[in-house]
Every structure is written in structure tokens, then in C-alpha cells.
Amino acid sequence: MATKAIDLLFILGSFELRGRYQRSMSIIQALPEEAVKIRVLSANPPPSLAEKIGRNSIYVDPYLQVPILSRISARFIKREYLKNRPDLIDIQHRHMHQLGSRLAREIETPYVLHLHDIPPADGQFEVDLRWCRRIITVSDSIRQQFLNQTGLPEELVSVVQNGVSIPREEDLQPILPEDRPPVIGTAGPLEKEKGLNHFLWAAKAILEKHPDVLFLIAGSGPEEKSLRQLAEELKISQSLTILPHLENFRQVFQAIDLFVLPELRQGSKLILLEAMAAGLPVVSSDIDGVAHIVDDGVTGLLVTAADVEELSTKLHELLIHRHQAREIGRLGRDHIRENFLASKMTESMLSIYQEILKTNRPSEQ
């Protein structure tokens, strides 16, 4: 007799082009249909989601993350999922935990929660131990910090590392060819903690030695205007392109030679994996969540966060020693293929879902 497919409700919140949502989409896209029936609750699902699971499996509520209005939405959401209760709820980010855990209680359904960073220690984040079956972190460092902060049982918190698909060899672009100007790029939400102002200051330093180099920032966010203003002040606007409103970064990786991750704090770092999978030499801030991805000097280069001089020096070295840059890109791609495949991430999540549903009863806590 065939095993019944798991009826799984993903709570995504508002879709944005950032690592945690790309991770969610990767899992949804790769979960086998015969094993999992997927439904999604989202404020603004991307078009590609309907292509995968069908529009009837998506509940759209634009007010999910709007204070006050989200409380009204919660009543309709409860009614929707009481009619056809899922086996398990997967809350894809801590910002949706309050709504997701409340729904779990009201329809008496277990849930899992994904943590891409550490919740603030302000008492506002509280796990419902009656219905929470697992908390998934994206790295060992986040798991350990979270356990130290909360004192929760170790068996409740698991690590499922990010994973990405590997582009075909024939789809890769040559790195630092001699017949065109080098392009140095970065990608992600345009926010202060992404360190993009330091990227621009490093760009100014690079242009003093390599005036033909071009720079690319791909992404949208509240810092776009201030970044354009800073580029004007630094007199580098003619060498800089900012590309907002993208649905993914695959084409960006085909346009650049060196990838920079100038972030100031920990996070999921999925964008770093994608750049390395595309064979790009990477230079990244040495922050939590990166050291287990980048072997400094082998699969990439690490620099002190916010250190503009060190960042520009490392980029200068790669521009001068192009063979070394290409070798770093090749080894980085091999490292991702061996350790960070999307298929492995999805298999780990499916195993957790199946383990949880072997005993689908609330705990006595």
C-alpha cells in the first residue's frame, strides 16, 4: 500500500528576493509530489510558485505582516485551514512565527520553524512547546547561539544547511577574460547591514588602480537612494550599475567576474553559495555563517567586515593574478557541489517531516 503524501502548509509571509525566500522556493520546487502535497500561505507569492503547485494550493493574504489587519486576517486563515487541516505547518521565517504558532494551536497541528538568524533577546520570541516539533537553523553557529540564549532542549533544534543547484558547465561564463573590462558585483537586499557602502568605498579605491573595472549591485531595498548618492559623492557613478526589481540573480552571476559579500552580520548566506556554484571567485566578510563555506585562500577570500582597505586589497590581488582568481572559482564550485547541494537540503527536510509525523501528538509540556 502506497504511503499517504504529507499535507504540508508553508507559511512564507511576504516574498522578497533574499536568501531565506530563495531557500523556501528551492525546498518547495524540489520536494517530490508523491511524498508531499504542498500548500502555501503568502502575502505576495511569486508567479513561479503557482506554476509548481497550482493556484488553488496558494492562499494569498496581503495583510499577513500588517499590524492590526493581520489579526483580522488570522480569523479567515483559521477558518480556511480548519476546513481542510494540514498534517504539518512549516513556518519559513521567525517573522511569521507569531501568526504560524497561533494557527497551529487553533487548528491543533504541529509545526516546524526555520531560523536564519538569532531572534532578539527581548522576550518577544517564545516557542510553543506544545505544538513546535522542530526548529531548523541554517548553521551550527546559529543553532548553538540560539540554544545558549533560550535554554531549549537540544533535540528540538536541528541544522539543515542551505543548498543550491549547480549550473551546467556549458552555461558558465569565462572569468576575467582579456577581451572586456572586469566586472565586480554583489547582490541581495539593499539594507544597511549588508555593508554596501563599504563596497562602494572599495570600488573607489579599486578604480584608482584599475580605471576600466565596472561594478554591479543587484537588488532592491531602502538603501538604494543613499547608495546612488554615495556613488555620486565618490565620483564612481559612471562605473556603477544598480539593478533593482529582479526575481532571481542567475543572470547577474553570468555578468560578473568577482563576487563580493560585504555583510556586517550573520545570516543564511545563500547568495554566497549561488555565486560559488556559478564558479565565481568570492570575497566575503569573515562573519558567522561564512567560515564553514569559505576556506580562506582556497575556495574564496575572507576579509574583516567593514574593512575597506582589506577588501580593496584582496580584490586588487585577484585582478592582478587572474589565474589564481579562476582557480579559486573552480575550487569553490567543487566545494559547493560536494557539500551544499539543494537536493541534500531537501532530503534533510523531508526526513524531518516524516520523522515528526510518525508520532503526530502534542507533547504534555
pLDDT at 18: 60
Q: Are residues 274 and 316 in the same domain?
A: yes
Using alpha carbons only, what angle is made at residue 266 by residues 192 and 104, rounded to the nearest 5 degrees? 100
- Residue 206 belongs to domain with CATH number: 3.40.50.2000
140 near 118, Cβ under 8 Å?
A: no
- For the stretch 234-280, pLDDT in tens is 999 999 999 998 767 888 999 999 999 999 876 558 899 999 999 99
- For the ranges 19-28, 87-96, 112-121, the lowest mean pLDDT is seen at 19-28
pLDDT at 183: 98
Q: Are residues 173 and 73 in the same domain?
A: no
Q: Is residue 42 part of a domain?
A: yes
pLDDT at 55: 82
Q: Is residue 307 part of a domain?
A: yes
Which candidate, 255, 340, 249, 331, places its Cα nearest to that of 295?
A: 331
What is the domain extent for residue 17? 6-163+341-356
Q: How many whole angstroms separate alpha carbon 28 and alpha carbon 14?
A: 16
14 near 43, Cβ under 8 Å?
A: yes
pLDDT at 184: 98
Q: Are residues 12 and 140 in the same domain?
A: yes
Q: Is residue 38 part of a domain?
A: yes
For residue 20, name the pLDDT band (cuts at 50, 70, 90): low
Q: Are residues 136 and 202 in the same domain?
A: no
- Cell digits for 23? 531557500
Q: Is the pLDDT of residue 364 over 50?
A: no
- For the stretch 120-152, pLDDT in tens is 877 678 899 999 999 999 888 889 999 999 999
Q: Are residues 49 and 137 in the same domain?
A: yes
Q: Are residues 142 and 173 in the same domain?
A: no
Q: Is residue 362 part of a domain?
A: no
Q: Are residues 218 and 299 in the same domain?
A: yes
For residue 365, name the pLDDT band (cuts at 50, 70, 90): very low
pLDDT at 71: 74
Q: Are residues 350 and 318 in the same domain?
A: no
Stretch 296-311: mean pLDDT:
97
pLDDT cut 70: percent of the chain above it:
94
Total of domains in the chain: 2
pLDDT at 17: 52
Q: Are residues 320 and 175 in the same domain?
A: yes
Q: Is residue 327 part of a domain?
A: yes
Q: Are residues 118 and 231 in the same domain?
A: no
Q: Is residue 41 part of a domain?
A: yes
Q: Is residue 361 part of a domain?
A: no
Q: Are residues 142 and 176 in the same domain?
A: no
pLDDT at 266: 66
Q: Is the pLDDT of residue 293 over 70?
A: yes
Q: Are residues 334 and 345 in the same domain?
A: no
Q: Is residue 257 part of a domain?
A: yes
Q: Is the pLDDT of residue 361 over 70?
A: no
pLDDT cut 90: percent of the chain above it:
70
Q: How many whole angstroms separate alpha carbon 82 and alpha carbon 106?
A: 8
- For the stretch 41-86, pLDDT in tens is 998 888 778 888 888 899 988 888 777 666 778 888 999 999 999 9
Q: Look over the chain and give the mean of its residue pLDDT values, rounded to a whole number.
A: 90
